[in-house]
Structure 1
């Protein structure tokens, strides 16, 4: 059993024993989700697997929550007490269908453009699920009362589901929440966020449509020849998308000051819909996604994009529709909950990787022309990072005014309940020297090798289960966490410093766009690129 067994309560000992006994089964569960590798908003099989599993474990499951077909909310109660939440993510990333082999290769029978787990969300979800199931088992065995709420959160790579759940009221009434993520910051391998938390992420789709091309220059008659093919064609929607892309790209330098870290990216899901030589392209879409340190910066950038879209629509004889894909808030820290969580992490110790995992890592190195190392993994993977030390590293690289960095939609939990952001080291190769960087497919490959990935999610499960049980049985700890939440929000949900959801309560999830997905055809199951 991890940690000193005498330092844990009987319930926590029970949870840890449960996890140890079911380790092989949870490992197989992880590979099930990893092998489904479904992309954002199209995680039909992955979401169904989780919902079925939670029902089998005694949870009551609401499927398709907030109008999202691949979302769910599962609830289990053992009587009055704290209401503690967690979640699974299970979306994969297009173009990352790496096989679990020590060389670059797409999975057998799958397009190289298909989706694959990168962070990986497959392990994120199983680690969280295992932790909550262990806590449930211990609560039943030891008569601990309280409620567990477990969410299925699709489309995290678009920061998609959590702001929708928040806007529709699904996070109301929670007392605390857990957000686990594989480590993604070199300065924070095994620990928790402290004061610096994730930044807002906004995304919007602009749809240009040319519905009445015949009215373009209708005062002219093509030089007196009354035939449509002799007349100038309306520019149409492809020109609109091209102009939106190029002009906004040129104006990117003028959107925001060169301070803080911000990014803006584009995706074109639809372009054209015209197959005749003189028919104006009827529809085109472009999506802009932005992460920035503050809401004000997001507002400024999208105000400029909106203006560009209006002018370009007029230039190209189109109408333009503007639809939000997501709008998240900035993360709200809770140091009291981070302290409690990290204390349990410290008692459990960091994850440890077996020799089998290191052998696979050395094969990766050898295949890339790097001399295999005795210790092929990043040195920080097997050490703990106290939250305050990670905070010092963040502050050393960020402007003093910048309190939010990178992006993840877990931030919407933080405004409805005290939330901890837990990081556990994921397998990462030791660089061959200063400035050396391995290709990303190496980490994706290790995500599908149980010996490499199991130590990460299983450690997360231990930390989550023991901390859930602390919250259920230690009123003083929960009171301190709640007091900090109320202070930071100016009185709790609705307080003077509280930020409400940025999407309306009737927001319709953006599931109907042409996102990449798998399709079943007479030829079999195929990957579809818009």
Structure 2
């Protein structure tokens, strides 16, 4: 991730409204509330780490978060926007602002790893929390519970709302929630993400469209009667060659990457089915649409050249981030109030051992500090971005991993199941809770954030999901199947 470091004050336009500071006694009460819930946060995060459920299959993970929120007095609506594991939990205390907190909980396939500082795959386990979403969800509900307690104790008017958002990793779960209008009445959205440092970010992420290209051919004996067959795998491979030549002729900053998810069942059978899984990324959603259309034409040409047919299914599509600079100043101030986490000697020893496996060495002490607001663009994508085009949105990173740890790695999985991960989650929960509390009492800031959003997206903007009007791709993590096998 490219990061430009600027002071938070330099981001806000002159004359921007300032948040109403929460009285010190109330701030201390909120922080104490989160501290009291820290053991439960760690227990919940570890349980979801153990479940390690991939996108749209997070039944136990989602159910656990919902159960905890219900016990805390939230009203929960489950299975929203056509997704069985999505939910919205709400606590309303009269009429006032609606502040939302996002909670993710899906794992990544192929990253099962024990919570140890050396490579230790877990045999038979298909997935692992390489992006720390187990802590994400646990910390977010902890923040919302602390805000709810503060609202009750101080007779604060408004609504704190938690969105349980499945399938962030490629399934675009939040897009379906935006498309269903579930954020239409929200005044501000707060989120966070596990990382190896602490800071607030306002840079752009990558817009993307992802999808699967399924080629259909004709099976035949690969040696005795190859002329009778039409290889679906040939279609996939010709398409891949065409797209690789296309890379020279796309706008700078565009990323195209793919895997072959099914290449046939046996070498002696001409494959009648094959599938590839593609991503196209750029910070500009219009460029992503245009390049993906060209990738689809490459697939059509490959099918024509190989005598096969091809079908494309868009499984995901997200905008680039349009973060609120107005809200960033509030969250940055809250994060600086909270400060970084403190590791025990045992945790430091564990982190030191794990750091020896990392290609990039960073000072362990960086987890104790708070970075200035980041303005650089990200190399990754997130479905939070779609929310940011319809509601003022801001997010932060908390140091849940050993410094130098890349996301989507076994090292991230290990730390996400360790106590250092949970401690980073406490920093996030405290920061989000303090930020929400300030916003409830700062109508001018919310109005300024809305004004900033309208100006940034343009007067003619109308939200249209990049994945179109398709239903949620609930099976996007299931392996591709098709074709047969041969015996000789």
TM (normalized to structure 2)?
0.85
Match of 1:316?
306
Residues 390 and 463 in structure 2, CA contact (< 8 A), matched pair in contact too: no
- Is the 2:230–2:272 Cα contact (8 Å) retained in structure 1? no
Q: Cα RMSD between the aligned structures?
A: 2.9
Equivalent of 2:230 in 231, 235, 239? 235
Whether the aligned pair in 1 keeps the contact of 2:243 and 2:295 (CA below 8 Å) is yes
Assess, with a 3 A threshold, how the Cα gap between structure 1 residues 213 and 515 changes in structure 2: closer, same or farther: closer
Question: Bigger radius of gyration, 1 or 2?
Answer: 1
The 1:8/1:427 distance shift into structure 2, 3 A limit, reads farther
- Cα 1:123–1:206 change in 2 (3 A) is same
Conservation of the 8 A alpha-carbon contact between 1:118 and 1:444: yes
C-alpha change, 1:443 and 1:514, in structure 2 (3 Å) is: closer
Q: What residue in structure 2 maps to residue 203 of structure 1?
A: 210
Preserved contact between residue 239 and residue 301 of structure 2 (Cα < 8 Å): no
Deviations along 1:307-340, one digit per CA (max 9) or x if unpaired, are 1111222233322212211121121121110001
1:381 aligns with 2:367: yes
1:269-315 CA distance string (max 9 Å, x none): 33436x7966x533222110122121233133212211111122223
- CA, structure 1 residues 308+426, in 2 after alignment: closer, same or farther (shift >3 Å)? same
Does the C-alpha gap of structure 1 residues 234 and 508 become closer, same or farther in structure 2, counting only changes over 3 Å?
Answer: same
Taking the aligned partners of 1:483 and 1:213, their CA distance within structure 2 comes to: 59
Q: Take 1:438 and 1:298, find their aligned partners in 2: how far apart are those partners?
A: 23
CA displacement, residues 114-154 of structure 1 (integer Å, 9 cap, x when unaligned): 21111211111112111111101111222112112211212
TM (norm. structure 1) is: 0.79
Hey, what's the Cα distance between the residues in 2 that align with 1:441 and 1:19?
Answer: 29
- Does 2:448 match 1:448? no
Deviation at 1:463, TM superposition (A): 0.6
Q: 1:501 to 1:287 in 2, by over 3 A?
A: same
Give yes or no for the alignment of 1:416 onto 2:390: yes
Counterparts of 1:170-319 in structure 2, within 5 Å, are 170-183=182-195, 189-194=197-202, 196-210=203-217, 232-249=227-244, 251-257=245-251, 259-260=252-253, 262-272=254-264, 281-319=271-309
The reply on whether 1:462 has 2:470 as its aligned counterpart is no
2:119 matched residue in structure 1: 104
**Match among 146, 158, 163 for residue 170 of structure 2:** 158
Once the 2 structures are TM-superposed, how far is the Cα of residue 207 of structure 1 from its aligned partner?
1.6
1:496 aligned to 2:482? no
Query: Structure 1: where are the runs of 5+ without partners?
Result: 1-5, 215-228, 395-402, 432-436, 518-530
Gaps of 5+ in 2: 1-20, 481-488
Query: Would you say 1:364 and 2:364 are equivalent positions?
Result: no
The C-alpha deviation readout for 1:233-259, integer Å capped at 9, x for no partner, is 23132222222233323x2432414x3
Match of 1:515 in 2: 478
Q: CA deviation at 1:449?
A: 1.4
Alpha-carbon separation, structure 2, partners of 1:155 and 1:190: 24
What is the SS of the residue equivalent to 2:119?
A: coil
Q: Is the 8 A contact 2:65 2:138 kept in 1?
A: no
